[in-house]
Amino acid sequence: MKIIGLTGGIGSGKTTVANFFKECGIPVYNADLEAKKIVYHPDTKQQIIDLLGNHAFIEDTYNTAYVAEQVFKNASLLQKLNAIIHPAVAQDFEKWVQQQKAPYVLKEAAILFESGGYKQCDHIILVIASQKIRTQRVIERDQISEQEVHLRMKSQWDDEQKKQGADYIIYNDTTLKDLKNTVFLLHKKLSNTIL
């Protein structure tokens, strides 16, 4: 089974693209969502507490705001946190792939390149949108300040870096209808290439 990586900077529209692939019958593994579940695995949880202290969890709930505040201003802490979470996600993804029956699957991850997750993929799709559009989307979606959005953006590779490793690029600065058409055409192309 072929594994197609799907990535793009925060607010680029990766998840919207992933949902259009789902409409085509393609299974999608959302690494970011799965990571949010994996932090609750006892071993992973303890490692995060050892790294960031008891404030990382409040009454058994992952304290996303606190963790983000700690790691997005400290590259070393972010790297250490990623070293805990990413191997666990990679293992979970491998198990998930074994259960799929489609001609190919998508692995959606914001930091596919940064985490090394791209190494599990046969092809990479990169979703791109202008920084202005991305910033606006994230402010509306996450109810955070422009400064916080830019801090998160700085922790990710920029589009120029990602383009070097991408096989397909989807520009998401227009309408949803255009985006959907682009995804359907790419799905057709991938299906023909793979089958």
Q: Which two tokens stand for residue 152?
A: 């998160």
Structural domain containing residue 157 = 2-194
pLDDT in tens, 82-127: 999 989 998 999 999 999 999 999 999 988 998 888 998 999 999 9
Locate all alpha helices (DSSP H) within the chain, ordered by sequence.
14-23, 31-38, 42-52, 64-71, 75-98, 131-142, 146-154, 159-163, 176-194
To 10 degrees, what angle do helices 42-52 and 64-71 make?
Answer: 50
d(CA 35, CA 83): 12
The segments of the chain whose pLDDT lies below 70 read 195
Residue-averaged pLDDT of the chain = 92
Considering only CA atoms, which of 58, 111, 55, 51 is closest in space to residue 81?
A: 51
d(CA 185, CA 187): 5
Given this model, what pLDDT does residue 20 score?
97
Q: Residue 87 burial (CB < 10 Å; 0-12/13-18/19+)?
A: middle
Using an 8 Å Cβ cutoff, are 168 and 126 in contact?
A: yes
Considering only CA atoms, which of 130, 106, 118 is closest in space to residue 15?
A: 106
Q: Report the CATH number that the domain containing residue 125 is assigned in CATH.
A: 3.40.50.300
Count up the domains in the chain and report the number: 1
Q: What is the pTM of this model?
A: 0.84
CA angle, corner 153, sides to 149 and 159, nearest 5? 140
Q: What is the largest CA-CA distance in the chain?
A: 51
Given this model, what pLDDT does residue 195 score?
56
